Amino acid sequence: MGHFESNSRNKNGVNFYVQGWEPQNRPKAVIALIHGFGEHTGRYKHVGEAFNAAGYILIGFDLRGHGKSEGIRGHIPSYDALMDDIADFITWIDIRYPGLPCFLYGHSMGGNLVLNYCLRRKPDVVGAIVTGPWLRLASTPPAFQIGLAKTINNIFPGVAQNSNLETAALSRDQKIVDAYENDPLVHARISVRLFVSIYESGLWALDHAEEFPVPLLLMHGTADRITSFAATAEFATASGKVTTWRPWDGFYHEIHNEPEKVDVIQAMIEWLDTHLKKK
Tell me the pLDDT tens digit for each residue of 128-138. 999 999 999 99
**CB-based burial, 121-135: b 16+ in 10 Å, e otherwise:** eebebbbbbbbbbbb
C-alpha–C-alpha distance, residues 28 and 273, integer Å:
9
Q: Structurally, how many domains does the chain consist of?
A: 1
Write the DSSP string, 26-42: PPSEEEEEE--TT--GG
Task: Find the length of the chain.
Answer: 279
Find out whether 134 and 112 touch, Cβ atoms under 8 Å. yes
C-alpha–C-alpha distance, residues 271 and 194, integer Å:
32
Domain limits for position 146: 2-277
Write the DSSP string, 133-157: --SSBSSPPPHHHHHHHHHHHHH-T
CATH code: domain of residue 229: 3.40.50.1820
Tell me the pLDDT tens digit for each residue of 102-140. 999 999 999 999 999 999 999 999 999 999 999 999 998
* pLDDT for res 1: 62
Write the DSSP string, 215-247: -EEEEEETT-SSB-HHHHHHHHHHHGGGEEEEE
* pLDDT for res 278: 74
Q: What is the reported pTM? A: 0.97
Mean per-residue pLDDT over the chain, rounded = 96
Find out whether 270 and 244 touch, Cβ atoms under 8 Å. no
Residues of the chain with pLDDT under 50: none
Tell me the pLDDT tens digit for each residue of 61-72. 999 999 999 999
